[in-house]
Each structure stands twice: as C-alpha cells, then as structure tokens.
Structure 1
Amino acid sequence: MKAFVVEKIKDKEFTTGVKEVEKPILSEHEVLIKTSYSSLNYKDALSSTGNPGVTIVFPHITGIDVSGIVAESKSNLFAVGDEVLITGYDLGMNTNGGHSEFIKAPDTWVIKKPDNISLRELMIYGTAGLTAALSVNELLNNGITSGEILVTGATGGVGSISVAILSKLGFDVIALSGKEDQIDYLKSIGAKEIILRKDFDIENKRPMGRERFSGVIDTVGGNILAEALKQIKYDGVATCCGLTASPVFNTNVFPFILRGVRLIGIDSVEASLAKKTQAWEKIASDFKINTLEKLVNEISLNEIQQAYKEILAAKAVGRYLVKL
C-alpha cells in the first residue's frame, strides 16, 4: 500500500516521502480501516521532522486523524463495512497513522461515524474540530452563553473552526491573528471583529485590563494568553489548547481572585472515547457549520510534504484535507 513515510537517516536527520509499504496484519481486538480521508495538524508536521516530543519510532507514517471504512475486523465492536473515524491517542505519533491507504488500530480508539455527517466532513474537522468543540463545550458548560469571545490563532485549524462554531451559536466573535491578509477570510467564517497580533501581543505590567471578553478560546499560549486573561469579564472562562506562541506565560492571580476567571485546559488526544463521541455528535448537529468548505485545502499524499512546510512556517490557513 502507499503511505507517507518518515525515515531516520542518522541522528537529527530525516527524510520523508510517499512509499510502498506492507499492509498491516491484525491482532485480536483490532480493526483494519480502508482510509477515505485524513488531515494535517501541527503535530503531524512536527512528527515529519523527527521531533522527539512527538515521535521516536522510525520509519513512521504520519497522520493523527483518519476516517474510512472497516475492511477487516478482529473486534466484537465493529463489522466490515462500518464507517468509522479515529482522532488522537497514539495514532500518528508512535503508531502508524492515517496518511496511508490502510491503517490498523485497537477497537478502543475507534468511533462509529455519527449520522448527518460524511467521512469527508469529519476529516475537515479532524482533531482541530474536536478540540474546538471541546473548547466551546467548556464555555457553554460554565455558563458562557452570550457576549464577546476572543479566539486567538484564529486562522489556524482550531481557531477557524472555533470562530465558525461560536458565530453559529450567536456569540460575537473577536478573532486575533497575525495574518493581516486574512481579515476577509476571518469575516467570511463568522468573525465580527479582527484584532491584529501586533496590537495585542504587547507585554505590559498592568495586573489587569478593561473587562471585555465573556470568554477566550486560546490556541497559542505565551504572552497572548497572559494578556487575554487580564481582559476577561467577571466570572468569565478561558480555555487553552495550544503553544505555537510559547508554552510559557507570565501572569498574576488578580484575574482569578478578583474576577473569578477560570482557565481550563483542553486535551483532545487522551480524552475518553465517551467524551470524544459526545463531541462528535455535537459537531454533527448543534455545532455543524455551513462555512466548512471555506476552511478546506484538499490535497493528496504527494502534496503532504509541501503542506508541512506551510504549517511549520506558520503560513497555513484553515484545514488541510488529505484524500486517499
């Protein structure tokens, strides 16, 4: 079968490309999935460079997301012909991932496709969409039902889908981005206002700022998260799911003890299957957006290498969909 493979040549030197590899052989409680679609994520791009924080087993097939049809099954939970998806767990990290014509996986990672959504749509959302849905759920579950929501890293996968979902739900979405040339794109997917990163990412010594945002969905970390926390209204909520700006941020306790602000971490990788399933059901219903096609760049296995360069150079916008 064909797959996008990362191979280690020597220490800190790797090569990538599409190769013919052996089709996987199943063990008990595993399924073999004929891949229909996968996607590209920042973690995939890191894996392709041999980043040891993501992948240490080589040769390796990237792709932390996959949707497709069960081709073989040694599981009591899934039958041949079932339409399914996987996001997260170890898929695409140290277990061969979705950028291949077939993948095998434990049945405990697999989710049946919800109604009212296609295998293609599932992978436009992918891990980014799941993370966005989990983030929006935390806002709703903590009483944030109206007002202005700041979305940082808004042109990225999680950011773009968060903007679109929040807009559908009736929030006033304030999109923060460093890409001045993408203002029209952000407005087309539902942003009411755009704040440029250069105007926001300014470190200052104020312990708090003016109350503005009912909530924040932060995808970048660093000083941007620190500054956002200072501008959240009383009893507001911020979610944090990314670190593209920095894994470190300097803040103080005042937003937490004077305004009751809550900071909630979002992890879509090891979330329980039940939690993931519930989020995917939301994506197929209440959170389903009508601007999905505006987010997508559809590519083949042969185009993955160039797309990774775009992602690592912070030039990517929206979502990359890999069709197999």
Structure 2
Amino acid sequence: MKAFVVEKIDDKKYEASIKDIEIPTIKEDEILIKCLYSSLNYKDALSSIGNPGVTKVFPHITGIDVSGEVIESKSSNFKKGDKVVVTGYDFGMNTNGGHQEYAKVPSSWAIKIPKELDEKEIMIYGTAGLTAALSINELQQNNITKGKILVTGATGGVGSIAVCILSKLGYEVSAITGKKEQIEFLKSLGAKDVILRQEFDIENKRPLLSEKYDGVVDTVGGEYLAHSLKQLKYNGVATCCGLTSSYELNTNVFPFILRGVRLIGIDSVEISLEKKEKIWQKVAKEYKVENINSLVTQISLEQIKEAYNKILNSKAIGRYLVKI
C-alpha cells in the first residue's frame, strides 16, 4: 500500500515521501481500516519535521485523524463494513496515522460515524472540527448561550469551523486574523466583524479593559489569549486549545477575581470515547453547518508535503482534506 512516510536522516534532518509499504496485520482488539479520508493539522505538520514534542518514533506515518471502513476486525465492537472515525490518543503521533491506504488501530480508539454524516463530511470537520465543537460545547455548558464571541486564529482549521458553528447557533462572531485578504472569506463564514491582528492591541499593559465579549474561542495562545481575557464581560468564558502564537500565558488575576471570568482548557486527544461520541452527535445535528465545504481544499497524499509548508509558514486557509 501507499503511505506518506517521514524518515529520520540524522539528528536534525527529516525527509518525507510516498512509500510502498506492507499492509499492517491486526491483533486481538484491533481493527483494520480502509482509509478513505484524512486531514492536515498543525500537529501533523510538526510531526513531519521531527518535532520531538509530537513524534519520537521514525519512520513515521503522519495523520492524527482518519475516516474509513472496517475491512477486518478482531473486536466484538466492530464488524466488517462499519464506517468509523479515529481521532486523538496516540494516532498519528508515535503510532502510524491516517496518511496511508490501510490503518490498524485499537478498537477503543474508533467511533462509528453518526448516520447523519458520511466519511467525507466527518473528515472535513476532523480533529479541528471536534476541537471547535468541544470549545463551543464548553461555552454552552457554562451558560454562554448567546452574545458576542471572539475567535482568534480564525482562518485556521479550528478557528474557521468555530466561526461557522457559532454563527449558525446565532452568536455574534468577531474574528481575529493576520490575513487582510481573508476578511471577506471570514465574513462569508458568518463573522460579523473581522479584527486584523495588528489592530488587536496586545501591547496594552492595563490589567483590565472595557467589557466587550461574552466568550472567547482561542486557538493561538500567548498574548492574544491574555489580551482577550481582559476584555471578557462579567462571568465570561474563554476556551483555550492552541499555541501557534505561544505556549506561554502572561496574564493577571483581575479578570478572574473582579469579573468571575473562567478559562477552560480544551483537549481533544485523551477525552473519553463517551464524550467524543456525544460531541460528534452534536456536529452531526445541531452544530452541522451548510457551508462547511467552503473551508476545504482537497488534496492527495502526493500534495501533503507542499501543504505542510503552508501550515508551518502560516499561509494555510481553512482545512486540508486528504483523499486517500
């Protein structure tokens, strides 16, 4: 079968290419999936250049998510022909991921695709969509059911899907981007207003700013999250899921002790299957958006390397869907 393989050449050099490799053999409580679709995520791009925080085992097949059909099962939970999606856990990190024609996984990593979605649709959302949906679910669970929501990194995978879902649910969405040429794109997704990154005054050192937002979906971290917290309204909620700006958070306690602001971390990797199933059901129903296809650039295995370069250089827009 064909696979997108990253190989370690020496301590600081990695090479990626399409290789012909053997179809994996499954063991007890594993399933073999005919991969139909995967996607590209920032974590995949880091893995492709040997980032040790993501991947330490080489050669390695990238792809932290996949959708497809079970063709062999040694698990009582799945049978041949089941349509499944896999996201999170160690998939695509130190276990070979979705950028291959056939993938074996522990059955405990897989979920049957909701009947309202097919393999392509669920992978248009993919890990990014699951993360966006988890973020929005936390806002709703913490009584942020209406009002003005700020989305950082809005042209990225998580951010763009968050804009779509929030707009569908009736929120007033403000989107931050560093890409002036994408203002109209973000408005087409449902953003009411777009803030250019250079206009978002992260250099302002005041500990609190005027109350502006009911909630924040932050995908970048660093000073953008810190500055957002200062502008949350009383009892406002921010979710945090990314670090493309910085993994550091230099903030102060005033938003928390004077306005009752809450900051909630979002992890889509180690959450329980039960919670994943619940969120995928929401994506299939109340979170499902009509214009999701406008976010997608469909590529092949052969085009992954070029797309990774765009992701790592902050030139990617929306989602990359990989047709296997």
Q: Structure 1-normalised TM-score?
A: 0.99
For residue 115 of structure 1, report the CA deviation from its aligned partner: 1.3
Describe the SS at the equivalent of 1:115: coil
Q: Give 1:45's aligned residue.
A: 45
Describe the SS at the equivalent of 2:131: helix
Q: Give 1:257's aligned residue.
A: 257
Q: Cα distance 1:201–1:106, how it changes in 2: closer, same or farther (>3 A)?
A: farther
Q: Which runs of 5+ in 2 are unaligned?
A: none
The amino acid of 1:263's aligned partner reads L
Is contact 1:238-1:264 (8 Å) kept?
yes
Q: Deviations over 1:176-203 (max 9, x none)?
A: 1111110010000100000011011422
The amino acid of 2:225's aligned partner reads L
Q: Give 1:290's aligned residue.
A: 290
Q: Give 1:194's aligned residue.
A: 194
The amino acid of 2:260's aligned partner reads G
The amino acid of 2:139's aligned partner reads L
Q: Give 2:301's aligned residue.
A: 301
The amino acid of 1:188's aligned partner reads S
Supply the distance in 2 between the matched residues of 1:193 and 1:301 (Cα, whole angstroms).
Answer: 36
Q: Deviations over 1:219-276 (max 9, x none)?
A: 0001111100000000010000000000012111000000000000000011111111
Superposition pairs for residues 62-101 of structure 1, below 5 Å? 62-101=62-101
Q: Deviations over 1:23-68 (max 9, x none)?
A: 1000100000000100000000000001110001010000000000
The amino acid of 1:309's aligned partner reads N
RMSD (CA atoms) = 0.6
The amino acid of 1:275's aligned partner reads K
The amino acid of 1:36's aligned partner reads L
Q: Deviations over 1:289-317 (max 9, x none)?
A: 01111100000000000000000000000
Q: Give 1:31's aligned residue.
A: 31
The runs of at least 4 consecutive aligned structure 1 residues that moved more than 6 Å come to none
Supply the distance in 1 between the matched residues of 2:292 and 2:256 (Cα, whole angstroms).
Answer: 36
Q: Give 1:319's aligned residue.
A: 319
Supply the distance in 1 between the matched residues of 2:199 and 2:83 (Cα, whole angstroms).
Answer: 46
The amino acid of 2:75's aligned partner reads S
For residue 77 of structure 1, report the CA deviation from its aligned partner: 0.4
Q: Give 1:268's aligned residue.
A: 268
Describe the SS at the equivalent of 1:244: coil
The amino acid of 1:216's aligned partner reads V
Is contact 1:201-1:223 (8 Å) kept?
no
Supply the distance in 2 between the matched residues of 1:248 and 1:301 (Cα, whole angstroms).
Answer: 34
Superposition pairs for residues 127-138 of structure 1, below 5 Å? 127-138=127-138
Is contact 1:135-1:239 (8 Å) kept?
yes
How many residues are aligned here? 324
Describe the SS at the equivalent of 1:145: coil
